[in-house]
Structure 1
Amino acid sequence: MMTRHGKLNLIGMLSLPVVTMVAVLVATKNGVFDAYAATYGYLFIINAIPMLFGGLVSWRLLRKAIGDPARMIAVTPTLIPAAIGIIWYLWRAIFPAEVAPGAEYIAAPQYLLIWVAGISLLAWLGGRIVRKM
């Protein structure tokens, strides 16, 4: 049986790629660009990569977390980048960039990987501090 924090981790891992598909669909309907079936698959995969890294880090941190505060800190490497990506993609689907519409779907996963790495380090440090208290 999966814990509440494990479910949050899984939701965070799956939500960004799924919402990316919705945002691409909205952007296609708005006439921003034409997305083909291969585009949807490619964008799903490249947005799943940072979430898989965040999910694996969160899983490792959850295994050592003791207490609710430490567990909430442990899932932040998945939830915070997912929330940032979801807000960004939906914003750009509704209000596309004038210069290069659709470019953020390719560039954002690279930035999300940086967010995952930074938040993972902070979550690891935060989890160690909470365990010592």
Structure 2
Amino acid sequence: MAQTHPKVAAIAVILRDDKFLLVQRGKDPGRGLWGFPGGHVEMGESAKEAAARELFEETRVTADPIDVLTAVDIIGHDEEGAVAYHYLLAVVHCEYRSGEAVAGDDAAAVEWVPAQEVINAERGLNQGVVDVAKQVWKRRS
């Protein structure tokens, strides 16, 4: 069934030792592309809570959500140009707490990717990943 309105989701962005934690999507949309772990916000759940939960489900990594940085629209079109899907992603900056990254849930793979490789788009990335990575990279202390 076609979407009738945007779906709300949250992504967890972790920068640790100059590497971003990325997952390779195992399902459409974006199957095979790399992006930040995340998924749907459940009813009554904050964006920060959703980002932390989805992070753990997809990677088995735990992190503390610090703040919501921005929102990103991910919009895909079908062959006729009609909107096929629309996700509104809350971008949540998180601080790594613990866990070894292992692909889980709908992630095909998980990897700590050097920040410059992400910023320079040296692999197939989901929409918005480079812009978000640049924003977080500028904020590093």
User: Under a length normalisation based on structure 1, what TM-score does the superposition of the two structures give?
Assistant: 0.29
Q: Which has the larger radius of gyration?
A: 1
Tell me the TM-score normalized by structure 2.
0.28
